[in-house]
Structure 1
Amino acid sequence: MYKKRNIARHQLAYSLEVFNGINGKPIGFLGNVSENGLMLISHLPLMTGADFDLRLKLPTEEGPEQQIRLKAHCLWCHEDVTPQHFDAGFSLQWAPPEYGRLVSALQQYFSFYEMSASA
């Protein structure tokens, strides 16, 4: 029997776009994040073994977007199950404290929590 879902699903992919930190052009979207790395979903394969300057542009309520610059090393890249998409895994070489706060916020938002009986 069908049960009504108590926990809403959230998808990170296509929520936060990732840009080339040097020329500012988009290179993909965040697929997953952790304190030590990230997965990027791109329309083109990315070179493994290469170092990348990445930039995240985050919307803010107070005005101009917040930008987080990262230095990351591409460990792997393979074709996604979605046609014409590629997944690439990065280890972070450098990230500002704002990245850690973003990871915490995203993990909290995209995690499943049981609803209390009083809710």
Structure 2
Amino acid sequence: MRTQRSIERHQLPYYLKVFNRITDKPMGSIGNVSLDGLMLISQLPMLLNARFDMRLKIPGKDHRLHYIDFHATCQWCREDITPGSFDSGFALVAPPADYVEMVDALRYYFSFRSIAASA
């Protein structure tokens, strides 16, 4: 029996690309993200229970790319509603501090805040 997910997810209105850290080839795009994992949208299905070395390339204020390297294990994979696309759920293995900071920044950026709270 499948249990309901209790991890809060944050949907991204546009996608951040994920790369294979070893080959630097694109793996897909982030569909949503949490502190414990992410959903990858890809053109190929991902191997279940496999550990992947992943990299995010984040543009910085200095107009340079900043790399966030991490390891993640594929927990599930299914065909997306879009033909030719697959959704895969990954659990992060010891997420690095810069990944946690990125998730916090995305949560802050995409959350609804009252005007009084931000003033």
TM-score, normalised to structure 1, is 0.81
The alpha-carbon distance between structure 1 residues 51 and 13, as it changes in their structure 2 partners (threshold 3 A), is farther
Hey, what's the Cα distance between the residues in 1 that align with 2:40 and 2:99? Answer: 15
Greater share of helix: 2
- Confirm or deny: 8 A CA contact 1:49 1:74 kept in the other structure: yes
- Confirm or deny: 8 A CA contact 2:31 2:39 kept in the other structure: yes
The Cα shift of 1:93 comes to 0.6
| Secondary structure, aligned partner of 2:57 | strand
Hey, what's the Cα distance between the residues in 1 that align with 2:78 and 2:13? Answer: 16
Segments of structure 1 that go 5 or more residues without pairing to the other structure are 1-10
- Of the two, which has the highest radius of gyration? 1
Count of matched residue pairs: 107
List 4+ stretches of structure 1 deviating above 6 A: none
Partner of 2:28: 28
Segments of structure 2 that go 5 or more residues without pairing to the other structure are 1-10
- Confirm or deny: 8 A CA contact 1:14 1:29 kept in the other structure: no
| Secondary structure, aligned partner of 2:45 | coil
Q: Deviations over 1:15-62 (max 9, x none)?
A: 310000110000100111111111111111111110000000000121
Partner of 2:105: 105
TM-score, normalised to structure 2, is 0.81
Question: How well do the aligned residues superpose, as a CA RMSD in angstroms?
Answer: 1.8
The Cα shift of 1:96 comes to 1.5
Q: Which has the higher contact order (CA 8 A, sep 6+)?
A: 1
Hey, what's the Cα distance between the residues in 1 that align with 2:76 and 2:13? Answer: 18
Partner of 2:75: 75
Identical columns (%):
50
